[in-house]
């Protein structure tokens, strides 16, 4: 069994935190396992728990529209979450739940080796970029962590609640596309 399938099988039977008791499906991730671009959200919602696929509900459909708008095919990226099981009532992940689950994401990152990691929302940015990350002030800013180029954008679920931020999201997504294109150009030289 290859490393990717082994990791998925381990994730499906994980009991490291209490969330395994209420999950319908482990929401491991979806997309291209050799992607240059990795999106990381916080945790699955109801639709994701039912399907086993991240970002398939209303927020995921909005993310798809942004990907389409900047000409990034969804099948070319990988999409995952910090948590692989849905918190009750879609509440924010607890620190202990993140701690129990983060190694799955770390192993995914090591296997994928993306060029760019994009945090979808405040929770992901606070875990992956910096604990005091302020999404409203810092979205779209770039940092390098562990050899990876990283940024954070608004979570699509926030945009559903506050459509005034949609234009800022589009600007950030255009910059992500520009950075991705620049990396690809450098690789072909």
Tokens 């929770």 — which residue?
123
Q: What is the pTM of this model?
A: 0.97
CB contact at 8 A, 51 and 154? no
Q: Check whether 189 has a pLDDT greater than 80.
A: no
What domains sit in the chain, N to C, each tagged with a CATH number?
3-188 (3.40.470.10)
Q: Please give the mean pLDDT across all residues of the chain.
A: 96
Nearest partner of 159 among 27, 58, 29, judged by Cα: 58
**Beta-bridge partners for 151:** 118
pLDDT per position as a tens digit, 115-140: 999 999 999 999 999 999 999 999 99
């Amino acid at each position: 069994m290859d490393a990717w399938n082994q990791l998925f099988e381990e994730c499906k039977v994980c009991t490291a935190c209490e969330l395994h008791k209420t999950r319908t499906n482990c929401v491991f991730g979806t997309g291209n396992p050799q992607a240059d671009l990795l999106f990381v959200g916080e945790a699955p919602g109801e639709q994701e728990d039912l399907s086993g696929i991240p970002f398939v509900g209303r927020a995921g459909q909005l993310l798809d529209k942004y990907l389409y708008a900047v000409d990034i095919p969804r099948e070319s990226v990988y999409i995952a979450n910090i948590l692989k099981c849905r918190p009750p009532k879609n509440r924010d992940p607890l620190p202990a739940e993140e701690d129990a689950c983060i190694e799955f994401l770390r192993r995914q990152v090591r296997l994928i080796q993306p060029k760019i990691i994009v945090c979808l929302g405040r929770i992901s940015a606070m875990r992956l970029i910096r604990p005091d990350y302020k999404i409203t002030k810092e979205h779209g800013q770039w940092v390098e962590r562990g050899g990876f180029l990283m940024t954070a954008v608004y979570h699509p679920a926030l945009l559903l609640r506050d459509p005034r931020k949609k234009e800022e999201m589009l600007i950030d997504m255009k910059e992500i596309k520009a950075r991705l294109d620049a990396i690809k150009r450098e690789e072909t030289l």
